[in-house]
Amino acid sequence: MKSLLKSIALAGVVALSAPAYSASPADLNDLEIAHVAYTADVIDIRYAHMALAISTNPDIHEFAKTMIRDHEAVNEQALGLLAKLGAEAQDNFLSQKLNADAEGILNEMSKLRGEEFDMYYASNELAYHGAVNGLVGDVFIPNIENAEVKALFEAGLKIFQAHEKHADMMVKGLK
Amino acid sequence: MTIASIIKRWASLSVLLLVIASLLSGCNATGINNAYADDSVVAPTAHVVDIKDFKFSQALLNVKPGDSITWTNLDIAPHTATAVDKSWTSPELKTGESYTMQVSADTSTAYFCIYHPSMVAALEIVGG
C-alpha cells in the first residue's frame, strides 16, 4: 500500500510540476488560474461521487460528502466573484492536463472494490490535495493580481489544507 | 433648650443619617442585604464564538448554566458545532449563518465540526 500511496503522490506532483509542460503554471493569468481551480474542484467532486457509489465505508461516505459540500461552496463563491467582476474563467493547458489525468484515475478507481477502493480513494485524496495545495500556495497566490481573487484563493487554501489533514487521518485509519 | 434635649436631638439625627447611609449602600439598619443589590444571582452571559479559517474562535469557553452561546460561520465552507457524544448539534451553518444554544448543567462539553473532524473545541461549565 505504501507503493500505491507513493505512486499516487508522485503522479500528483508530476502532473502539477512545470517541467512537464511547455508552459508554466506561474505564467497563468488570474482568469486562467480561476479556471484551474474550478476544474480541480469539479474533479474532486467527481471522485467523491464515485466514492459514494462504490464504497460502503461510512467514514469514506462522510468524507466524500464533505468534499462535495465544500468544493461546491468554493465554486459557488468563485462564480459569484467572476460574475461580479464581469469576467469569465479561461481554459488553459493546466486545466486540460488535470482533466486528462482525472479520467485515468477515475478509470482506475472504477475497477476497485472494498478496502482496495477505499485506500485508493483516500490515498488519492491525500496526494491530490497535497499537490493542489502546493500549487495554490506556492505558485498561484503569489502570482494573482486581483485582490478579491487572491483573497478567495487564500480562503480556499485553508479549506483544502483542512481536507488534506482529514484525508491523512482517513488514510491512517484505513491502515 | 436643655443640654439633655440637645443631645437627644443630635442622637436622633445621627440615627436618621445612619439609616439613610445604610439604605444607600444597599443594607438596612439591621445589616440584612437589600434585595435590589443581591449579587448572589448572576445574570446569564451571551457568548459569541466565530468559526473562521477552520477554527472555533475560542478553543475553551467558560460558561455557566443559563448562558447562551452563539456560533457564527465566517468561512466559505459549511460547518457545524456538534457535541462529540452527539447529544446536541447546530444545523449546517452556511457562510454568515448563526446558531444559538442555551447551556444547562448537563450540557456535554466537548464539541467539533461534524464535517471537519480536525476542528475541535470545548466548553467548561462552572457554577450552577
Q: How many CB atoms lie within 10 A of CB A150?
A: 17
Q: What is the mean pLDDT of chain A?
A: 90
Kindly determine whether residue B116 and residue A69, on different chains, have CB atoms separated by under 8 Å. no
Q: Are residues B63 and B87 in the same domain?
A: yes
CATH number of A29-174: 1.20.1260.10
Same domain, B61 and B95: yes
Residues B52 and B108 in one domain: yes
Choose between B50 and B13: higher pLDDT. Answer: B50
CB contact (8 A) between residue B75 and residue A66 = no
DSSP B97-126: -EEEEE--TT---EEE-SS-TT-EEEEEE-
Q: Which residues of B touch A62 (CB under 8 A)?
A: 115
Q: How many residues does chain A have?
A: 175
Q: Are residues B65 and B112 in the same domain?
A: yes
Q: Which domain holds residue B22?
A: 3-37
Q: Which residues of A touch B (CB under 8 A)?
A: 62, 65-66, 69-70, 73-74, 77, 152, 155-156, 158-159, 161-162, 165-166, 169
Per-residue pLDDT averaged across A95-111, rounded? 97
- B112 strand-pairing partners: B82, B120
Please report, for chain A, the start and end positions of each structural domain, with discontinuous segments joined by +: 29-174
- Is A9's pLDDT higher than 50? no
What's the whole-number mean pLDDT along residues A92-111? 97
- pLDDT value of residue B87: 97
Q: Does the pLDDT of residue B28 top 60, yes or no?
A: no
What pLDDT is recorded for position B127?
Answer: 81
Q: B31 and B50 share a domain?
A: no
- Residues of chain B whose beta carbon is less than 8 angstroms from a beta carbon of chain A are 53-54, 75-78, 94-95, 115-119
Question: Rounded to whole angstroms, what are the CA distances from A60 to A29, A50, A133?
Answer: 36, 11, 21
* ipTM score assigned to the predicted complex: 0.79
Q: What residue spans of chain B are helical by DSSP H?
A: 3-24
* Model confidence at B19: pLDDT above 80: no
Check CB contact under 8 Å for B77 and A70. Answer: yes
So what's the pLDDT on residue A175? 84
pLDDT higher than 70, residue B3: no
Contact A159, A70 (CB under 8 A): yes
The predicted pLDDT at position B90 comes to 98
State chain B's mean pLDDT as an integer: 80
Alpha-carbon distances of A57 from A17, A54, A61, A110, A173, rounded to whole Å: 33, 9, 6, 16, 12
Which residues face B124 on adjacent strands? B62
Q: Which H or E run contains A69?
A: helix A58-85
What is the reported pLDDT for B83?
Answer: 98
pLDDT surpassing 70 at residue A120: yes
A106, three cell numbers: 477515475
**Alpha-carbon distance A45 to A50, whole Å?**
9
Same domain flag for B33 and B84: no
Strand partners, B72: B50, B98
Q: Which residue has the higher pLDDT, A5 or A131?
A: A131
Domain count, chain B: 2
Q: Identify whether the C-beta of residue B106 lies closer than 8 Å to the C-beta of residue B84.
A: no
pLDDT one-digit tens code per residue, A151-167: 999 999 999 999 999 99
Same domain for B50 and B113, yes or no, is yes
Whether residue B50 is found in the same domain as residue B31: no
Phi, psi of B5 (to 5 degrees): -70, -35
Of B21-35, B52-66, B89-103, the poorest mean pLDDT is in B21-35
Q: Same structural domain for residues B72 and B95?
A: yes
Annotate A127-142 with DSSP letters as a single string. HHHHHHHHHIIIIIHH
Say if residue B26 is in the same domain as residue B80.
Answer: no
